[in-house]
Structure 1
Amino acid sequence: MKTLVLLSDARHPVSGRPAPAPTELQAINLARSLADEVTGLHAGPDAEAARGALGHGLARLEHRKILAGHDPLPSLVAAIGTEAPDLVLAGRRAGAGDQTGLLPYRLAEALGWPIVADAVALAVEGGVLEVIQALPKGARRRWRLRLPAVVTVHPAAPAAASFALGAAREGQVETAIGIPAPPDEPAMEERPYRPRPRLIASAAAGAGAAERLRAATQAAGPGGRVMVDPSPEEAAQAILNHLRAIGILKPAAGG
C-alpha cells in the first residue's frame, strides 16, 4: 500500500523556527501502521520545516518548489498523479500562514476522491479503508470507504514517533520544480460612505391603516421617557406601557 503525507511550511509556536506540525507527525505514525515506507509531499519555496519529518519515520520527502504565496494545489495534484498513492494523509491545518484547513478538501475535490476528517485510527482490509473519526466530547464514529482517499488527522491520534537522528540523515529529499499558480487578486469595490437610514417606527398591534401608513412613512424620533430615580413600581409600569405601545404585549384588560 502506497501512502503520502502532506507536509506544510510549519513554524514552532514559541520560537517561530521551522518545525513539522504535530498533527502531520501523527499522520506519519498512522501511515506507518499501514505501510512500511511512507513518503512525504511538500509544495513551497523551501522544505526546511518538512525536512524535520524525516527523523520521525518518514523515508522520503518530495519537494515541489514554487514561489512564496503561490497556490500549492496544482503542484500537489500533479505530484499525486505521478506517484499514484492509495492514501493521502494530512494534518487538520497548516502549522503557519493562513491556516484555513481547506487544502485537504480542495485536494480531494480536485482528485475526485472521498475525504474523512479527524481520524484517530486507520485500518485497511480488502481494499477498504476503515477510519475511526473523533467527535466532540470524546465520541467516536467508524467510517468505511474505498481507496484511494484523503484523510485528515485529529490531535487525539496516537503520538508521533520519537525523533531519530540516524533516520533523519538517511532520509532522501527529492526536489522538483512545481507548477506556478499565482494567487487570484480578490475583487474589490470602493463605495462612498452613506449614512444608514433610521429605523421605521412600528405601529401598535391592532392599529388602523392610517396609523400603519404614518409609522411607515415617518422617521422614528428619539421617543422614550426619561425617568430619574423612579421607584421600582413606576419603572416597571413604564416598561409595560412601552411594550404595549409597540405591540409586543397585549393592551391591558379594560384599558
Structure 2
Amino acid sequence: MRIVVLLSAGRHPATGAPCPVPAELQAIALARQIAGAGGAVEGLHAGGRDEAVLDALGHGIDGLTLVAAGAADDPLGALVAALEGRLPDLILAGRRGRGGADGGLLPYRLARALGWPIVADAIGAGIAGGEMTVTQALPRGGRRAATVRGAAVITVHPAAPAALPYVHRARLAGRVSEVAGPAALPAALPEGAEIRPYRARPKLIGDVGGGGSAEARLQAVSETRDAGGRVMLRPAPDEAAAAILEFVARFRPRKA
C-alpha cells in the first residue's frame, strides 16, 4: 500500500518560526499504522524547501516530493499534477494548515478534483477484508465508524494518536525529490479579493429564534455585546502604547 500525506509550511502560532503542523505529523503516524510494515508513506508539498516541511522527514515518512509553486499560487493544480502520474492508495492530511491563508478546504477540493470520497476528522483506521474502517471524531466526544472502499482522502483530527518520535538521523538521510509544477497556476485569492481582520458584527433581531419564552426572546433582542476595544492595524509604537494605557485605566480601581 502506498499512502501520500499532504504537508504544509507551518508556522509556530506564537513565534512565527517554521514548525511542522501537529495534525500533519499525526497523519504520518496514522498512515504508518495503516500501511503496515510493507507499505510506503510519502510526503507531498506544493512549494519550496521549507524547514517545517523538511522536518517531517524525521517523523516517519519514506520520502518527500516538493512540487514547484509560488507562495501566491493555488496549490491545488500543483498537487493534482504531481498525483496524476502515479495515484496512491490513500491521501491523508491534517484538518488545516497553520501559518498562512489556511481555510481547511484544500483536502475537499483535492478529493473533488480526483473524484475520490473524503472522510473527515479521523482518529483511527484499520483494514480488514479489503475494506477500511475509519473512526471519526464527533462533537462532545462522540465517535462514528465509516467504511471506505478503494482510494479516498482522509483528514486527521487533533484527537488522533500522537506523532511518532523525531529522529534527526532520518531527517538528514531523508529522500527529497523536487519536480516542476504546471506551467501556469491560478492565484490562491481571486482577483480583487482581500483579507480583512475579523470584526464582531452587531446582533440582528432576525437572528432570534421563535422558540423559548417571551422573556428569553426579549432578553436576546435587548442584549448588547461589548466589542472590547478597537482594531488597530500596524499602529505606531506611541499610538499603541497610549491605547494600552487607556484600556488598562478602565479597570483601575477607584480610590474612596
- TM-score, structure 2 length as denominator? 0.70
Aligned residue number for residue 7 of structure 2? 7
Aligned residue number for residue 164 of structure 1? 167
**Per-residue displacement from partner, 1:163-187 (whole Å, max 9, x unpaired)?**
1111111211101111231316345
Aligned residue number for residue 24 of structure 1? 24
Ranges of 4+ aligned residues in structure 1 off by more than 6 Å: none
Q: 1:37 offset after TM fit, Å?
A: 2.5
The structure 2 residue matched to 1:111, chosen from 114, 120, 125, is 114
Please state whether the residue corresponding to 1:42 is helix, strand or coil: strand
Aligned residue number for residue 48 of structure 2? 45
Q: 1:66 offset after TM fit, Å?
A: 1.1
**Per-residue displacement from partner, 1:126-178 (whole Å, max 9, x unpaired)?**
33221000001111000002120000000000000111111111211101111
Query: Retained in 1: the 8 A contact 2:8–2:53?
Result: yes
Identity value in percent:
52
Aligned residue number for residue 190 of structure 2? 185
What root-mean-square deviation, in Å, do the aligned CA atoms of Structure 1 and Structure 2 show? 1.4
2:140 aligned with 1:100: no
**Per-residue displacement from partner, 1:14-36 (whole Å, max 9, x unpaired)?**
22111110000000000001224
CA distance in 2, matches of 1:83, 1:26: 24
Instruction: Report how many aligned residue pairs link the two structures.
Output: 188
- 1:1-255 paired onto structure 2 within 5 Å: 1-35=1-35, 36-179=39-182, 180-183=184-187, 185-186=190-191
Instruction: Give the letter aligned to residue 45 of structure 1.
Output: G
CA distance in 2, matches of 1:126, 1:75: 34
Instruction: Give the letter aligned to residue 163 of structure 1.
Output: Y
* Gapped regions of structure 2 (runs ≥ 5): 194-256
Instruction: Give the letter aligned to residue 19 of structure 1.
Output: C
Q: 1:68 offset after TM fit, Å?
A: 1.6
* Gapped regions of structure 1 (runs ≥ 5): 189-255
